[in-house]
A and B are shown apart, each in its own frame.
Chain A
């Protein structure tokens, strides 16, 4: 193995179902790769040191902070961003629809991170209590809503997702 290491590398990442190949500087974070290289600016950057949760995306189905991951580490992985939640025809994901109904957002800056976090959480915990929802979103900071409307939206979306599961 070479001792020089590399400062740039060709990576292949599947983002929202589409494969992207790009030559990438190794010090580029996954968040900046999504926003700057792929122009997927729905992933928001708040603090860029892992505190605010705005940049949360799903990597192989697990919620992670994209500011705390290098783009090269996503090589060969599947990433889902906020742009990948709604159906191709524009039909909102049940969580997005519930956020609309319950006013789960105001300025919308934290919303992409909250939605991706909750997609994973509701997959793991389809029938959560309010306390469980609050714990699940403890790593996402929202300065508009006071969280109550987000929690209400999550509980409502959980019900919708369960109903859809039973219907199918």
Chain B
């Protein structure tokens, strides 16, 4: 057998899962398993207890409430992509999901699992950062909300306590008719991105940029919102020259360097993708405001 020996728990409620987390030593939560199962098979992870969340029905589902979409942590990536509300109001998410793994992994993988694994190159992590998501976390003291900006404590490390678990992600819906674009560069389809970029861009009635958000994924240890780029965009005349100037802010990021990809290459890709994404998002916003 490939995975190391562990004791298996499959609670039916969030309360039971949180209770187990608090009482058991060296316990891991199993969501869709598309990252933890390989880690178990390869024996990178040695939990004494595995708490399987797949039986907790309250953790899955998508609802709209007061201009926000609440997506349960155990909602499968495939079900998010198929959901009419997401398709109608959060097309950025749909575009990003097309890059998440493969159909077999999207059928099983969950949004909560992806966020908690917190791979900096994960598309859903970049999208959550770009949309100013709020993460709903359950613990022994009840439920708390944490801004996505505060969620990454460091490389692949979410800022949640050992006895807490993510139960949902809340995504503020951008204005109707907004522009969006998700782009990524990977060696093969479905691979983790070398660099990805997410852009949301909304125009005011005069065609100036009313709201924009730009996020780089895969470029650094955590998803990078680009406040300098956003400030340049908020202040200028939307068009190719402005987008080029905003994209140039990618030259200053502290990029990841690994055996395959040097940091300078990530910075160049980031700048190029950001410029392309801004152009495309702006064109969609213009189209959206005309509609």
Closest A residue to B190 using CB positions? A138
Cβ contacts under 8 Å, A9 to chain B: 8
* Contact (Cβ within 8 A) A3 B101: no
Chain B residues near A56 (CB-CB < 8 A): 104
The answer to whether A28 and B188 touch across the interface, beta carbons within 8 angstroms, is no
Q: Within residues 12 to 38 of chain B, which ones have a CB less than 8 A from any CB in chain A?
A: 16, 19-20, 23-24, 33-34, 37-38
Given contacts A50-B105, A65-B108, A117-B103, contact A138 B189 (CB under 8 A): yes
Given contacts A27-B1, A136-B103, contact A68 B108 (CB under 8 A): yes
Is B249 positioned at the interface, with any CB of A under 8 Å from its CB? no
**A114: min CB distance to chain B, Å:** 11
Q: Does chain A have a CB within 8 A of B42?
A: yes
B residues contacting the other copy or chain, number (CB 8 A): 38
Quick check: B34 and A50 within 8 Å, CB to CB? yes
Is B89 interfacial (CB 8 A cutoff)? no
Quick check: B105 and A29 within 8 Å, CB to CB?
no
CA separation between A13 and B204, bound complex, in Å? Answer: 56
> CB within 8 Å of B: which of A62-118?
62-65, 67-70, 72-73, 117
Number of interface residues of A (CB under 8 A): 37
B79-134 contacts to A (CB < 8 Å) = 101-105, 107-108
B41 and A48 within 8 A (CB): yes
Contact residues, A26-58 vs B (CB, 8 A): 26-29, 32, 48-50, 53, 56
A68 → B minimal CB distance (Å): 4
Does the CB pair A139–B101 fall under 8 Å?
yes
Known A-B contacts: A1-B16, A27-B4. Give 6 more (CB < 8 A): A1-B9, A5-B9, A7-B5, A27-B1, A120-B103, A140-B102
Residues of A within 8 A of B (CB): 1, 3-7, 9, 25-29, 32, 48-50, 53, 56, 62-65, 67-70, 72-73, 117, 120-121, 134-136, 138-140
6 contacts between A and B (CB under 8 A): A6-B9, A29-B1, A53-B104, A69-B33, A72-B10, A138-B190
| Interchain residue pairs A-B with the least CB separation, the first 3 | A139-B102, A5-B7, A49-B38
